[in-house]
């Protein structure tokens, strides 16, 4: 009997990372419906666009990754959002502040490379 620990590990990484990312993204959802959007604009594209991009990277993409649908494609905006958080938003902060975003980026990079594993809606 062959054991699929790799697939179990990928499922744990995919589901755990995405669920934790949602705890950062979901509080931002109500901001999109605010009369005046107040959000940082690290890329110079406007507060509304920055918030929309953050919601794609922190809510929509993690939901896709969590269930394992279009996982590799969804990992790209999640990874990019965390790289912007680490290297643009927190550029002048100490490493300890950047560390959380970098850990998320590392997890999303592994998901991008390895795919969703066997326990997902889509199969590798």
Tell me: the pLDDT tens digits for 95-115? Answer: 999 999 999 999 999 999 999
Indicate whether 81 belongs to any domain: yes
Structural domain contains residue 98: yes
Is 2 within a domain?
no
pLDDT tens profile 32-53: 887 788 888 888 898 888 999 9
123 within domain boundaries: no
Do the domain assignments include residue 121? Answer: no
Q: Structurally, how many domains does the chain consist of?
A: 1
Residue 122 domain-assigned (yes or no): no
Task: Judge whether 124 lies within some domain.
Answer: no
* CA of residue 89 relative to chain centroid, distance: 15
pLDDT at 124 over 70: no
Q: pTM to 2 decimals?
A: 0.90
29 or 62, higher pLDDT? 62
Q: Is 85 among the domain residues?
A: yes
Nearest one of 102, 97, 65, 64 to 82, comparing CA atoms: 102
Q: Domain limits at 76?
A: 9-114
């Amino acid at each position: 009997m062959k054991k699929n620990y790799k697939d179990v590990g990928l499922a744990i990484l995919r589901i755990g990372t995405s669920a934790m990312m949602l705890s950062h993204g979901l509080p931002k959802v109500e901001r999109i419906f605010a009369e005046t959007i107040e959000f940082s604009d690290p890329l110079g594209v406007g507060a509304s666009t920055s918030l929309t991009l953050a919601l794609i990277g922190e809510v929509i993409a993690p939901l896709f990754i969590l269930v394992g649908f279009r996982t590799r494609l969804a990992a790209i905006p999640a990874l990019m959002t965390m790289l912007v958080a680490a290297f643009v938003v927190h550029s002048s902060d100490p490493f300890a502040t950047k560390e959380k975003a970098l850990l998320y980026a590392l997890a999303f990079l592994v998901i991008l490379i390895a795919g969703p594993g066997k326990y997902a809606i889509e199969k590798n």
